[in-house]
Amino acid sequence: MTTDASPRPDLSGVRIGFIGLGVMGAPMAAHLLEAGAVLTVHTRTPQRAQPLLDAGARWAPSPADAARDAAFVVTIVGFPEDVEAVYFGRRGTAAAPTGGAGIFSTAAPGAVLIDMTTSRPALAREIHAAAAARSIAALDAPVSGGDVGARAATLSIMVGGDADAFERARPILAVMGRLVVRQGAAGSGQLTKLCNQIAIAGTMFGALEALLFARRTGLDPTTVLTSIGAGAAASWTLLNLYPRAERGDFAPGFAARHFLKDLRIALDEASDAALDLPGLALAERLYGRMVEDEGRGDFGTHGLLLTLMGS
Amino acid sequence: MTTDASPRPDLSGVRIGFIGLGVMGAPMAAHLLEAGAVLTVHTRTPQRAQPLLDAGARWAPSPADAARDAAFVVTIVGFPEDVEAVYFGRRGTAAAPTGGAGIFSTAAPGAVLIDMTTSRPALAREIHAAAAARSIAALDAPVSGGDVGARAATLSIMVGGDADAFERARPILAVMGRLVVRQGAAGSGQLTKLCNQIAIAGTMFGALEALLFARRTGLDPTTVLTSIGAGAAASWTLLNLYPRAERGDFAPGFAARHFLKDLRIALDEASDAALDLPGLALAERLYGRMVEDEGRGDFGTHGLLLTLMGS
């Protein structure tokens, strides 16, 4: 575990390939560059890389190029399919007919691959096995803390994989997050992130249904929060998202379509474990309605209020 | 709002009737006595009153006797039926064939009646109206914070009723709680408490399903909590009840059968407001199973873990 009190590790001269410069990846990559890393970046939309290139990063035209000669490769992309493409190579599609070579086509023995996407535990284990066959280490290391945590380097990073690879990667991770914990073998980081999302799903119901109930029974939701925000009902969601939902501010935060993806992965894993989680199942149903029927996938997760209102 | 920094009000010579000396009521009454009130107490099980009588309180053989000559009457009993009996008089039953005279048979014009039971908003409004017809004030003032908060006088007290009655009662309430907020007209305190319970219900799912998921997928639930306890998934329930559930300690805290009562009142109110709250409805169904089918009404609310496990 690393806290703010620790000095930031010095990454001078450490060669890192970084793939995926979205709202999370871009500030995370910037922290690595500031810590002295020799950074090579790739992302699907090249212009997103420009600020990093201006700050000294080098451009790689493919994931394979980003991984070549890197001691560490960090990936943080959108969906499990993207993770698969980035590691194993992209099949040609109508939009991108040439496809693209994956990390495994160039990564050198001894490298450490760190996937920080929230993705399938089974895919993390598959990557770990494919890496091991090439004498490469692989960690699954999804994060929580959102874009705010990515910019402030205060992320919680949940890590699965071998203990020695974790120790080697720790300075890299400590530059990007505040709470870096190894949870167990390959896939454990992903499973822990799913626990996080399951806990959030229930809390979200609680907070948004309390808000709706307050409104519809004639209470002042803001005064209600004064009474209920500090005791047994307290949650991060209640304190942070209830007020935004109350004033009709549904900007993400965390986009509902990504949350739905996570809930579906969690449900699949629960089902594989013969585990019936009725709260999670309800959340998946309602977020499915919000994202797929109501077209609100780019709203923040607290936009579920509108679905609960039946509007 | 009153905080710890404020001096405790001096209630010397204030005549208070106090009805209901359960795990909540007993320490709350003790605080009033310590603040100097002239306290007359009644409770269903007389031996529970002995420590207060030893400390200077007087015994009243009925609610009516407790209310006679009192400037304030505080009630905190179990269920709405008990509230009804205490205020309007108890019908004779096989167990207590003589019944008992209620508060309204003796309370003097100018008195302030404060019901701190979690009860039905409609009953709070009925008591308010019956009181007004007798030139008596009535407040509904349910609490959150549990027995710990009752003992430490750190309760959150959610108050409904007229503003002037609230101001008169404020010193009494400030002796028993830390956060005393008027939410609106009669019934608003009860409605706010229901918001609190709705928020807790969702959060409970989240925390317990995350715990089950962690267990069944082979993670260490304690290490998982390290990673997820400080960010967007954080909640009072996750930090306090997840660890107790993990070690199999299902002592209440807050008894499931009381929580089920609250959820049913909330569902009825939601239904009256034409409001569909699927998380609340699911919670009522599962707590119903836990309390009525599985006989675990005296377990803490986090005993729902056993229901979710299907055991």
Distance of alpha carbon A3 from alpha carbon A169, whole angstroms: 16
Residues 6+ apart with CB under 8 A from B138: B112, B113, B114, B115, B124, B127, B128, B130, B131, B132, B161, B165, B186
Q: Determine whether the interchain pair B213/A158 forms a contact, defined as Cβ–Cβ distance below 8 Å.
A: no
**Per this entry, what is the length of chain B?**
311
Q: Which of B234, B277, B310 faces A213 most closely, judged by CB atoms?
A: B277
Residues of A in contact with B203 (CB under 8 A): 202-203, 206, 233, 235
HSE toward the beta carbon, residue A18, CA cutoff 13 A: 30
B165-177: average pLDDT: 98
- pLDDT at residue B53, rounded to an integer: 98
A261 is catalytic: no
Where residue A311 falls among pLDDT bands split at 50, 70, 90? low
Residues of A in contact with B271 (CB under 8 A): none
Chain B interface, mutation test: which of A2, A120, A125, A203, most B Cβ atoms within 10 Å?
A203
Q: Which residue is associated with the tokens 């209310």? A: B67
Residue A278 has pLDDT above 60, yes or no: yes
Where residue A15 falls among pLDDT bands split at 50, 70, 90? very high
Cα separations in angstroms, B194 against A58, A214, B267: 57, 9, 9
Distance of alpha carbon B104 from alpha carbon A73, whole angstroms: 76
**Tell me: the pLDDT tens digits for A157-188?**
999 999 999 999 999 999 999 999 999 999 99
Residues of chain A with pLDDT > 70: what percent? 94
ipTM of the complex: 0.94
Where residue B8 falls among pLDDT bands split at 50, 70, 90? confident
- pLDDT at residue A242, rounded to an integer: 98
Residues of A in contact with B240 (CB under 8 A): 232
Distance of alpha carbon A19 from alpha carbon A76, whole angstroms: 6
Q: pTM for this one? A: 0.93
Q: Determine whether the interchain pair B192/A224 forms a contact, defined as Cβ–Cβ distance below 8 Å.
A: yes
How close does chain A come to B71, measured CA to CA in Å?
26
Q: Which of B68, B125, B193, B261 is catalytic?
A: B193
Q: Determine whether the interchain pair A192/B231 forms a contact, defined as Cβ–Cβ distance below 8 Å.
A: no
DSSP 8-state code for residue A235: B
Residue B1 has pLDDT above 70, yes or no: no
Domains and CATH numbers, chain A: 15-185 (3.40.50.720), 192-309 (1.10.1040.10)
Coil, helix or strand at residue B184: strand
Q: What is the interface size between A and B, counted as CB pairs within 8 Å?
A: 263
**Tell me: the pLDDT tens digits for B231-281?**
999 999 999 999 999 999 999 989 999 999 999 999 999 999 999 999 999
- For residue B49, which amino acid is it? A
Identify the closest residue of chain A to B224 by CA–CA distance. A192
Tokens standing for residue B188: 């608003």
Q: Of all helices (H) and strands (E), which one includes residue B33? A: helix B25-34
Q: Which of A192, A226, A280 faces B209 most closely, judged by CB atoms?
A: A280
Q: Determine whether the interchain pair B235/A236 forms a contact, defined as Cβ–Cβ distance below 8 Å.
A: yes
Residue B191's CB: how many other CB atoms inside 10 A?
Answer: 28
Residue B73 has pLDDT above 70, yes or no: yes
**Tell me: the pLDDT tens digits for B146-159?**
889 999 999 999 99
Residues of B in contact with A158 (CB under 8 A): 227-228
- pLDDT at residue A8, rounded to an integer: 79
How close does chain A come to B106, measured CA to CA in Å?
33
Is the distance from CB of A160 to CB of A184 less than 8 angstroms? yes
Q: Which of A31, A193, A261, A302 is catalytic?
A: A193
- Of A206, A201, A200, A209, nearest to A281 (Cα)? A201
Residue A140 has pLDDT above 80, yes or no: yes
**Tell me: the pLDDT tens digits for A183-215?**
999 999 999 999 999 999 999 999 999 999 999
Tokens standing for residue A248: 């009709």
